[in-house]
């Protein structure tokens, strides 16, 4: 039986998130950037208290608070305004999406679709990661957003993926080192290396020291397009390959393959687009699809299906050997690859 598309007019609740999603985002992002979420973290605050805290125009702030309640970001009772669970999703991630260079990129999505070029490159005259060299503020916001977005993933990764069989873990593109700090913290016998660009590891030493694992973790600086550190038996790529096109991914994976021992593994943590879709959760599938479009807007990369990841591995001399679903948003998996026997 063929599926039937509903013919009745769309309900307000159906079309508002699509037609005015940009407005809903900015309502939440502005509540965060004004410091309102920080102000209500310790308890409810009245409108008068929030006006005093933020220094914002009183009437305009009251209008924003009213809209934030209706949007579900804030809750209002007799004691004042409180944050809802949805508010936890605003902060560093919404700061990044509200940044002018990022908004400019989304404005030219049509050009990106027509040409295949990154919308960020079209709108700002340089690819995202090149742009960071001249925009350290956006770079800092981006790295904070990546950390915040990953915080919900670390516990699931550590709990559901077996790191105990490894001796030395290299986190390729590991940034601030929060993933490796969690991994090493859960396994006292492990050693590790965080590998990233100079900009990416600015705060890494402090993160590792705070986690108490700095005596078991090194920091290496470089570009994974040129080489990666030797000595690991597990090389992690968390939310890395989706930033790059197929040729770039093969280059990254190929550089790892050059130093990977025969019993070593490459582990890619990433969303995986479903190929059938009959049994997928609609919200999770939508999240993965939006992430794919965001990669089109921001980078040269994309989200991929399992078949597409298998092809990438194969092109780099690797074989997909295991897939582990993880209880994280947006169809998230650990994809494990081993060297193809020569």
From CA 70, how far away is CA 31, in angstroms rounded? 13
Residue 110 CA to chain centroid, in angstroms? 23
**Cβ(152)–Cβ(113) below 8 Å:** no
Q: CA 180, 183, 187, 190 torsion: positive or negative?
A: negative
Confirm if 117 and 72 have CB atoms less than 8 A apart. Answer: no
Count CB atoms within 10 A of the CB of residue 33. 16
The count of other CB atoms within 10 Å of the CB of residue 188 is: 8
In whole angstroms, what is the distance from residue 28 CA to residue 17 CA? 13
d(CA 135, CA 151): 25
Entry field: residues in the chain: 342
Q: Which of 25, 57, 131, 242 is catalytic?
A: 242
Q: Measured between alpha carbons, how far is 143 from 176 in angstroms, rounded to an integer? A: 8
Q: Are 314 and 245 in contact (CB under 8 A)?
A: no
Asked if 70 and 16 count as a contact pair (C-beta separation under 8 A), the reply is no
Which residue, 211, 168, 176, is CA-closest to 193? 168
Question: Would you give the DSSP letter of residue 232?
Answer: -
Whether 242 sits among the annotated catalytic residues: the reply is yes
- DSSP state, residue 244: S
CB 216 within 8 A of CB 177: no
Q: How far is the C-alpha of 277 from the C-alpha of 292, rounded, in Å?
A: 16
Which residues form the catalytic set? 242
């Amino acid at each position: 039986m063929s599926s039937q598309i509903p013919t009745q007019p769309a309900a307000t609740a159906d079309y508002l998130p699509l037609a005015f999603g940009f407005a809903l985002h900015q309502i939440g992002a502005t509540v965060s950037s004004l410091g309102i979420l920080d102000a209500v973290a310790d308890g409810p605050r009245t409108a008068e208290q929030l006006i005093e805290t933020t220094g914002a125009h009183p009437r305009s702030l009251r209008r924003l608070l009213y809209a934030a309640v209706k949007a579900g970001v804030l809750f209002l009772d007799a004691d004042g305004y409180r944050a809802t669970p949805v508010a936890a999703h605003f902060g560093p991630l919404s700061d990044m999406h509200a940044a002018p260079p990022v908004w400019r990129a989304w404005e030219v999505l049509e050009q990106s679709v027509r040409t295949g070029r990154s919308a960020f490159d079209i709108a700002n005259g340089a690819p995202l990661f090149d742009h960071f060299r001249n925009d350290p503020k956006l770079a800092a916001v981006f790295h904070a957003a990546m950390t915040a977005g990953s915080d919900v993933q670390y516990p699931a990764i550590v709990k559901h993926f077996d790191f105990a069989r490894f001796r030395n873990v290299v986190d390729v593109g590991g940034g601030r080192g929060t993933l490796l700090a969690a991994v090493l913290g859960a396994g006292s016998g492990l050693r590790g290396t965080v590998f990233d660009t100079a900009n990416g590891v600015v705060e890494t030493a402090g993160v590792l020291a705070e986690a108490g694992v700095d005596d078991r973790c090194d920091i290496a600086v470089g570009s994974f397009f040129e080489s990666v550190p030797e000595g690991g038996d597990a090389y992690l790529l968390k939310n890395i390959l989706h930033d790059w096109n197929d040729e770039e991914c093969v280059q990254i994976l190929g550089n790892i393959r050059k130093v990977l021992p025969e019993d070593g593994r490459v582990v890619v943590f990433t969303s995986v687009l479903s190929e059938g879709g009959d049994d997928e959760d609609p919200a999770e599938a939508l999240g993965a699809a939006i992430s794919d479009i965001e990669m089109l807007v921001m980078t040269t990369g994309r989200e991929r299906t399992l078949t597409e990841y298998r092809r990438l591995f194969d092109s780099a001399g690797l074989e997909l050997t295991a897939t582990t679903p993880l209880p994280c948003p947006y169809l998230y998996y650990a994809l494990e690859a081993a060297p193809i026997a020569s």
